[in-house]
Amino acid sequence: MVAIRPGAPLTGSVTVDGSKNAALPMLAAAAALRRPVRISNVPTSTDVETMLTLLQQGGWHAARPVSGPHTVVILPSDQSQPDLAPEVAARIRASYYLVPALLSACGRARLPWPGGCAIGARGMEQHFKVYERFGDRTTIDDRGYLVEATARDRGAVSVMLPFRSRGATVAAILRAVVAGRPLRLGQPNLSPEVLSVIRALGTAGWESRFDESVLSLHPPVTVPEEPASWRVPGDKIEAGTLACAVAVTGGEARILGVHGRDLAPLVDALRLLGFPTDADDGTLTIQARGVRPTGRSLHAVASLDPGALDADFEPPLMALTLSLPGTHLFADSINPGRHGNLLPQFARLGAEVHELSPTECRVTGPQRLTGAGVEATDIRTGSALAVAGLAAHGVTTLGGLEQLRRGHADLPVKLHTLGADICEVIP
C-alpha cells in the first residue's frame, strides 16, 4: 500500500508512460500482421506484461530488448497454440484482441471470458457478430468462447455496429487484416487508441478512410519488406490524473509525452473549473497556483462519441471536484459498475456523493475529507483515490496497488517526482 499526506503544491515536470489502452491492441495488431514489428514506448504495467505472456504462449516471439525496457519486438508465430492458459487470459479484458491473430495462425481461438477491472458486464456479443460477418463460427459456454475460421471468401466485408464499441472496432480491423479483405465498418469507435492501431497498420500498407459514420480499410497493394516500427502514444489518462492531482494541491506543472488533441475534453473541464490549462507540442501545462475556482458546475458525461469525454477521465475529475465549490454531475453508462466501486471508497474519506442512479451521481463541494484506509478496487478508482488523498486531512493509506499497477506502472513515483508526500509502506 502507499501512504499519502497533504503537503506542498505539486510542481515541476514529469513524463507519462505509454498508454496501456493503446499498447494492448497494438501488440495484438503486431501479432496479426505476420511480420516482424518493433514497438517503442510500451509501458511496463502488469496488463501489458500479461499480454506479452499470452503472445509467447501462442507461439509468438515477444520480448523487450536489453537495450530498451520500453521497446518490444514481436516476431511471427512458428509453433502456434490456439488454447492459451485460461488463468492468464482471464486476468485482462484485452485477451479478446488476440482472436484474429489466433485464427490466422491456428484457424481457431479458445479464450475465457474477459477479466480485468470489475466495472460492469464484459459483453462480447458485438465481437461475435463481427466474426460471423467474416464467416467464422462461435461457440460459447460457462468457461468462455471458441471462434473457428470457416470461410475462404476474399470479398469485402460490411459491418454495422449498434454502438461505438472500441473492442468490436479493433476486432473488425484485425479480422480484416488477417483475412486480407477490405472492410467497411459503420459507426466505428474513433478513440485515440483505435486510431493508433489504424495509423500503425498504415505503415504496413493498409489504406484507411474514416469519419464519424464509416471506417473503410483496404489491404496493401504491395507489402513493405522492411520490419514495421511503431510507437505507443503517451497515456492521456495518466496525464489527466496527474493534472487533477496538481489542481487539487494548487500547484503548477508540465506533463510531457502526450498528444494535446487526445486531452481536449479534459482541458475543457479543467478550464471550466477555473484552472488555466493548455495542451500542445506533446505537453500538458496546468497552472493552479493562486487560482480561485469558478464555482461553475461541471457536467462530466462519459461517451464513446468522437471527441467526447473518455470514461477514464471521470474518476479523477470527481476526486478533484470534491474540494471545489459548486454542484457537479457525473455520468458513466459505459462502465455501469464503476460508481459502485468508487463511491464507497470516497465515503471512507468522509465524502458525500449523491447517487442519482447506478451510473449517475452528483457532487456538491467543497467538502472536508479526512485521511483513512481505502482500497483500489480497479485501476481508475485507485488513481482517483490518490488524487483525493492529496486533499484529505491526515494520512490516507491506499491499498490494492496490484490493481493500480495493471494500468500505471509507477503512478505514485510520478506523484512523488512532482513533490507529493507519498511513499510505499508494508502493512
Q: Do 2-17+234-424 and 20-231 agree at the fold level?
A: yes
Ramachandran area for residue 219 (φ above 0: left; ψ -120 to 50: alpha; else beta): beta
What pLDDT is recorded for position 66? 72
Quickly tell me which residue has 467474416 as its cell.
134
- At 122, the pLDDT band (50, 70, 90 cuts) reads low
DSSP-based three-state secondary structure for 30 = helix
> Helix, strand, or coil here: 62?
strand
Sign of the torsion angle spanned by Cα atoms 15, 345, 404, 236? negative
Q: Name the pTM for this structure.
A: 0.94
How many Å apart are CA 269 and CA 247, to the nearest integer?
Answer: 12
Q: Are 390 and 245 in contact (CB under 8 A)?
A: yes
Q: What is the pLDDT of residue 310?
A: 94
The pLDDT value recorded for residue 119 is: 58
What is the rounded average pLDDT of the residues 268-295? 94
Nearest to 316 by CA among 392, 223, 215, 248: 248
Helix H, strand E, coil C: the string for 369-390 is CECCEEECCCHHHHHHHHHHHH
Instruction: State pLDDT tens for residues 167-216.
Output: 999 999 999 999 999 999 999 999 999 999 999 999 999 999 999 999 99
Closest-CA residue to 248 (of 407, 112, 366): 366
Closest CA to 319 of 377, 367, 272: 367
Please provide the distance, in angstroms rounded to a whole number, between the alpha carbons at the two ends of the chain: 7
| pLDDT bucket at 74, cuts 50 / 70 / 90 | very high
Query: How much is the pLDDT for 395?
Result: 96
Question: Angle formed by the axes of helices 264-273 and 236-249, to 10°?
Answer: 10
Question: What is the DSSP-derived secondary structure letter of residue 72?
Answer: E
Domain layout of the chain by residue ranges: 2-17+234-424, 20-231
Distance between CA atoms of residues 263 and 96, nearest Å:
27
pLDDT in tens, 348-374: 999 999 999 999 999 999 999 999 999
Q: Which CATH superfamily is domain 20-231 in?
A: Enolpyruvate transferase domain (3.65.10.10)
Decide: 99 and 109 in contact? Cβ < 8 Å: yes
**DSSP secondary-structure letter at 100?**
H
The CB density around residue 264, as the number of other CB atoms within 10 Å, is 15
Q: Which CATH number fits domain 2-17+234-424: 2.30.30.100, 3.65.10.10, 3.30.70.20, 3.90.170.10?
A: 3.65.10.10
Instruction: Record the cell numbers describing residue 66, joined without a space.
Output: 536489453
pLDDT range class, residue 337, cuts 50, 70, 90: confident
Question: What's residue 195's pLDDT?
Answer: 97
Distance CA(352)–CA(367), nearest Å, equals 8
Residue 222's pLDDT is: 80
The H or E element containing residue 391 is: helix 379-391
pLDDT of 71 > 90? The answer is yes
Residue 409 in this model has a pLDDT that exceeds 70: yes
Q: Which pLDDT score is estimated for 151?
A: 73
Residue-level pLDDT at 275: 97
Q: What is the pLDDT of residues 264-281, one digit of tens each?
A: 999 999 999 999 999 988
Of residues 59 and 67, which shows the higher confidence score? 59
- C-alpha cell read off for 235: 497515456
Q: Which is more confidently placed, 224 or 412?
A: 412
Would you call the peptide bond into 366 cis, given omega within 30 degrees of 0 as the criterion? yes
Interstrand relation of 326-331 and 299-301 (parallel, antiparallel or unpaired): parallel
For 80, other C-beta atoms within 10 Å of its C-beta total: 16
User: What does pLDDT average to over the chain?
Assistant: 93
The secondary structure of 239-304, three-state, reads HHHHHHHHHHHCCEEEEECCCHHHHHHHHHHHHHHCCCEEEECCEEEEECCCCCCCCCCCEEEECC
Nearest to 230 by CA among 100, 15, 36: 36
C-alpha cell of 92? 485482462
**H or E element: which one contains 336?**
none
| Among 256, 266, 280, CA closest to 13 | 256
Radius of gyration of the chain (CA): 22
Q: Are 54 and 413 in contact (CB under 8 A)?
A: no
| pLDDT given at position 69 | 81
Q: Please give the share of the chain, as a percent, with pLDDT higher than 90.
A: 84
**Residue 202 CB contacts under 8 Å (≥ 6 apart), including other chains:** 208
